[in-house]
């Protein structure tokens, strides 16, 4: 039978290791998930543009440079809405405020709520694509059979890396009717 010093030592080892195990579990939720989101937000590295309204800072327009901005829309599975940009491609100057509109229609006989999720390519451009107004900031409810024009207002930052000439902004439209019902209509992150 082990003597008491060894027993105490064993208890000490076990406690330390158990704490490490619990800490690693907590690490996933408290560090990994937020860190991933922060890194994606700050570095724009998964192509997600910020979910927040961009605060406009007065700046000049770089008329010497032209950027092609393409809009692509996709409906996620089971999302029956009609959803497309009214303009497929815009040629913009960095620093200028640009506006466009996306058309959406709910063809079903019941009210629905949609969420548009943006994604930017190339990934590096996400940090330089500022939305001052976007229908993706909020869930979009539409009554049965209703249609709407959803605005997008954006500025391409002058500091966009010189080698980027085309930015593609894609919106995937998801049916969040069930989610909205359980949460109440809340703006997403």
C-alpha 112/C-alpha 116 separation (Å) is 13
Task: Give phi and psi for 93, each to the nearest 5.
Answer: -105, 140
Shorter beta-carbon distance to another protein: residue 7 or 59: 7
Query: CA nearest 144: which of 189, 96, 81, 70?
Result: 81
The percent helix, strand, coil of the chain (3-state, each to 5) is 30, 35, 35
Shorter beta-carbon distance to another protein: residue 53 or 189: 189
Query: CA nearest 119: which of 159, 73, 85?
Result: 73
Strand order in the sheet with 82-85: 82-85, 97-105, 147-156, 129-134
Shorter beta-carbon distance to another protein: residue 57 or 109: 109
Shorter beta-carbon distance to another protein: residue 29 or 58: 29
Q: Which residues bind another protein (CB under 8 A)?
A: 1-2, 6, 9-10, 13-14, 17-18, 20-25, 27-29, 32-33, 36, 40, 43, 45-48, 51, 70, 72, 74-80, 85, 87-89, 107-109, 115, 117, 119-124, 145, 163-166, 168, 170, 172, 174-176, 179, 182-183, 188-189
Q: How far is the CB of 131 from another protein (least distance, A)?
A: 15
Q: How far is the CB of 95 from another protein (least distance, A)?
A: 21
Shorter beta-carbon distance to another protein: residue 56 or 107: 107
Q: How far is the CB of 132 from another protein (least distance, A)?
A: 20
Q: How far is the CB of 118 from another protein (least distance, A)?
A: 9
C-alpha 28/C-alpha 92 separation (Å) is 41
Query: CA nearest 131: which of 146, 111, 150, 149?
Result: 150
Q: How far is the CB of 58 from another protein (least distance, A)?
A: 30
């Amino acid at each position: 039978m082990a003597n008491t010093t060894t027993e105490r030592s064993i208890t000490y080892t076990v406690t330390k290791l158990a704490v490490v195990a619990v800490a690693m579990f907590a690490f996933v939720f408290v560090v990994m998930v937020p860190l991933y989101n922060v890194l994606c937000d700050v570095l724009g590295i998964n192509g997600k543009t910020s979910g927040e309204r961009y605060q406009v800072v007065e700046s000049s327009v770089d008329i010497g440079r032209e950027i092609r901005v393409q809009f692509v829309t996709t409906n996620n599975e089971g999302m029956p809405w009609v959803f497309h940009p009214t303009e497929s491609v815009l040629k913009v100057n960095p620093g200028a405020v640009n506006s466009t509109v996306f058309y959406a229609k709910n063809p079903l006989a019941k009210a629905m709520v949609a969420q548009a999720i943006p994604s930017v390519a190339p990934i590096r451009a996400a940090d330089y694509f500022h939305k001052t107004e976007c229908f993706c900031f909020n869930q979009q409810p539409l009554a049965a059979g209703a249609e709407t024009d959803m605005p997008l207002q954006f500025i391409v930052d002058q500091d966009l890396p010189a080698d980027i000439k085309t930015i593609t902004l894609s919106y995937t439209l998801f049916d969040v009717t069930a989610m909205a019902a359980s949460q109440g209509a809340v703006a997403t992150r």
